[in-house]
Amino acid sequence: MTTLTVALLVTDAKKSAVESAIAALTPDYTIGFIRPCCALTPEPTWQTPPTHWYANAAAVDAEIAAAWQDAVAGAGPNDALNGLILFTAQNATNASGWAATNLESQGLRFVPDEP
Amino acid sequence: MIGSPLGLAAFAAARAAFSPLSLTALIDQWDAERTAEISLSGSAVTAWRTSKNGYSADQAATNNRPSWSATAINGRPGVTPDGVDDFLNYEGVGLFPTGGNPCEIWALVDQVLPASDTTARILLNYGGTGTSTRRNLQRVVTTGVNRAQAIIGNGSTSGSPTNANVDLSGRNVIRCLVGASTSRVDVNGNAGANVTVTPATGTTRTRLFAANGGTPANFFQGVVNYIGVFNPLTDPEAAQMLAFLKARGGIP
């Protein structure tokens, strides 16, 4: 079975709604957003409030990834995923490096970890 | 003549038969080669239980689960967190030593991140949620080199014994010795420097591959074959553990 690596980026305001919507849409693959993100500039600290949240989903069945993409495009009955940004890769072997690239493309980065 | 071929074979068999479970000092262990103690959904780890007491380190959200493979490290089983958001959580500390009681933490890992990634990456921490109340084994970068480090909370701040001798890149055996007044970190049998610290370890939770706080952070990236927590070992027992984990990891 073909699987993909899918990264998901959501605004802080829609985080909980997207988690719930994905749990309802694909209960076999749920998402927990636990990595806070913020703007690349000004230089953030670990206390910078998140504007977005990022998730890395490995080994996602192609059917599940397609269901997420359809929902993002508004093809499904649930519009909660509107605005969710998806990044896909065949095999993202360095997930943290890939994440940095994905976030930079949106002018974002991870909020630094607490020192 | 020191040994006959038969004697060597018997020695090899005896060495191969060693298990940490034979050590009375073992408090508990997560062993990726004991597949009955790992619950999978596909290749994703939903729960990893300890061998003696069944402390279950769990993950509910699918994307936050590390993966398991039978050939992840030196052709042997390993659990692989992605370094972004994978971790396993056990809400308690079981019988792991708390307060000021000493312990040893042993691990066989393949640390894959380059030193250009300077974020601290936690392999295991248990105790309280902050660095002042937990015992924490992690990979850090100091002066441009990957290192193994422990953070030992003393109740108000912490000590940070670091092995400054061995590059933690690739496959390594880590031994963290937490004493009543000093602690150190050894890598592949190379002893790190002692740091004076009196532990004051809490009882809130145990977390693999991320920090113990309310929002997980400091995610480990690499492969983990073994993590064990022990009461202090004798020198012969420590030598057995080192040889056992080095053999697993193919470490000279």
- Residue-wise pLDDT tens digits, A45-81: 999 999 999 999 999 999 999 999 999 988 666 677 8
DSSP code for B85: S
Q: How far apart are CA A110 and CA A48, in angstroms?
A: 10
State which amino acid sits at residue A95.
A
Total beta-carbon pairs less than 8 A apart between chain A and chain B: 66
Q: Which residue in A28, A31, A56 is closest to B84 by CB distance? A: A56
Residue A30 banded pLDDT, cuts 50, 70, 90: very high
CA count, 13 A, side-chain hemisphere, B226: 29
B61, B213, B218 member nearest A30 (Cβ): B61
Chain A residues within 8 A of B62 when measuring between CB atoms = 28-31, 57
Q: Rounded to whole angstroms, how far apart are CA atoms B244 and B207?
A: 25
Q: What is the number of alpha carbons within 13 Å of residue B112 lying toward its C-beta? A: 17
Q: Which residue has the tokens 């020191």?
A: B2
pLDDT of residue B71: 97
pLDDT tier, A83 (very low <50, low <70, confident <90, very high otherwise): confident
Share of chain B above pLDDT 90, in %: 92
pLDDT at B225 over 90: yes
Mean pLDDT is lowest, of A61-70, A78-87, B167-176, for: A78-87
Above 0.90 for ipTM, yes or no?
yes
pLDDT tens-digit series, residues B72-110: 999 999 999 999 999 999 999 999 999 999 999 999 999
| pLDDT of residue B11 exceeding 60 | no
Interface of B with A (CB under 8 A): 42-44, 60-64, 67, 82-86, 112-113, 117, 119-120, 211, 213, 215-219, 221
pLDDT band at B214 (very low <50, low <70, confident <90, very high): confident
Entry field: residues in chain A = 115
B199, B177 Cβ separation under 8 angstroms: no
- Residues B168, B187: contact at Cβ < 8 Å? yes
Tell me what pLDDT residue B8 has: 53
Q: What pLDDT is stored for residue B22 in this prediction?
A: 98
Please report residues of A whose CB lies closer than 8 A to that of B86: 56
Contact A32/B63, CB-based, under 8 Å?
A: yes
Residues of chain A with C-beta less than 8 angstroms from the C-beta of B67: 58-59
Confidence band (pLDDT; 50, 70, 90) for B168? very high
The pLDDT of residue A20: 94
Which amino acid would we find at residue A31?
A: I
**What own/partner pairs with CB < 8 Å and gap ≥ 24 does B180-186 have?**
B180/B100, B180/B101, B180/B102, B183/B150, B183/B152, B183/B159, B185/B137, B185/B148, B185/B149, B185/B150, B185/B161
Q: Residue B3's pLDDT is what?
A: 42
CA distance A50 to A54: 10
Q: Which residue has the higher pLDDT, B41 or B1?
A: B41
Over pLDDT 90: what percentage of chain A?
Answer: 75
- Alpha-carbon gap, residue B2 to B11, rounded angstroms: 12
Place B196 in a pLDDT band, splitting at 50, 70 and 90: very high
pLDDT, chain A, mean = 91
Q: What is the pLDDT of residue B2?
A: 41
Q: Rounded to 5, what percent of chain A is helix, strand, coil?
A: 35, 30, 40
* Cross-chain Cβ contact A96/B213 below 8 Å: no
B155 φψ region: left (φ > 0), alpha (ψ -120 to 50), beta (else): left
* Shortest Cα–Cα distance, B73 to chain A (Å): 15
Q: Which of B161-165, B176-180, B199-203, B210-214 has the lowest mean pLDDT?
A: B210-214
